[in-house]
Structure 1
């Protein structure tokens, strides 16, 4: 296959084994700041996906709560294929620490009683949310945390 400009387009999605957390890229700025981009894959590509209301709520919950565990977050955003999220961190390269931060954030999702910013003023599609769905996704991801570092199928 032709090498593509987008890193994930060069990933063989038939060989990965979700759930996993993968370093997807590193970018260095001209002043020495370094961005580490992580592929946090919740669902097996082309086999399953997250339903939009659950994914949307999980996005809100993770985006709000992850910042309680690190001040290095640039962005956390869902993949269009609905199988995971991208997490970008600035000047933070410790993979094992990223796993701890993710676990803490997902545990926050489990104890949430509401989805933050789930209203028409703060959200572009406030009618599309599911706290229970987000919590089910977090529960499933946490149940497989011992496999987060295993990216490829045997």
Structure 2
């Protein structure tokens, strides 16, 4: 079996300073398309984690709000450690543009009145949401970006 490296396993999580946005991977497809993965780190690793209900609501909200600001997003996926998200997209986009979109999206979370797609038909775990929690974490992360 081929030995593979997982980029996030090589990152020294003790030396990062969240919140931040960093490029976490780049693939050039056989047809020449660029696919980039970004680490949207919201919480300091091994010091904090977003509750599952708040993370789930943030996932729903950011999936929409980030796509309103950034073209060609493939996916926005929560990290298993619950300290942030991975954003995958087609094409080159600067870190500054990604960070600006994240900050304005988190600001929009603070003004949100309802999380979309939270019915049994639309969501695989529709009972596990917290808009209140999503707003609490958004506020905390935004304070970190301003420091």
Quote the residue 1:37 is aligned against: 37
Structure 1 residue runs of 5 or longer lacking an equivalent are 148-154
What's the CA shift string for 1:37-77, capped at 9, x where partnerless? 11111111111111000000000000122111122211101
Shift of 1:4: 5.9
Aligned pairs, number: 145
Distance 1:4 1:29, change over 3 A: closer
Instruction: Kindly indicate whether the alpha-carbon contact (under 8 Å) linking 2:18 and 2:144 is maintained by their aligned counterparts in 1.
Output: no
- TM-score when normalising by structure 1: 0.88
Answer yes or no: is 1:49 the counterpart of 2:79: no
Aligned equivalents of 2:66, 2:54: Cα separation in 1: 17
Instruction: Kindly indicate whether the alpha-carbon contact (under 8 Å) linking 2:70 and 2:98 is maintained by their aligned counterparts in 1.
Output: no
Alignment of 1:68-147 (within 5 A): 68-146=68-146
Structure 2 residue runs of 5 or longer lacking an equivalent are none
Aligned equivalents of 2:124, 2:50: Cα separation in 1: 19
Shift of 1:146: 4.1
Aligned equivalents of 1:139, 1:101: Cα separation in 2: 15
Shift of 1:112: 0.8
Aligned equivalents of 1:66, 1:124: Cα separation in 2: 21
Aligned equivalents of 1:55, 1:118: Cα separation in 2: 13
Structure 1 segments (4+ residues) deviating >6 Å? none
Secondary structure at 1:36's aligned position in 2?
A: strand
Distance 1:52 1:142, change over 3 A: same
Instruction: Kindly indicate whether the alpha-carbon contact (under 8 Å) linking 1:62 and 1:105 is maintained by their aligned counterparts in 2.
Output: yes
- TM-score when normalising by structure 2: 0.92
Aligned equivalents of 1:36, 1:27: Cα separation in 2: 6
Computed over aligned residues only, the root mean square deviation of the Cα atoms, in angstroms, reads: 1.5
Highest relative contact order (Cα 8 Å, sep 6+), 1 or 2?
A: 1
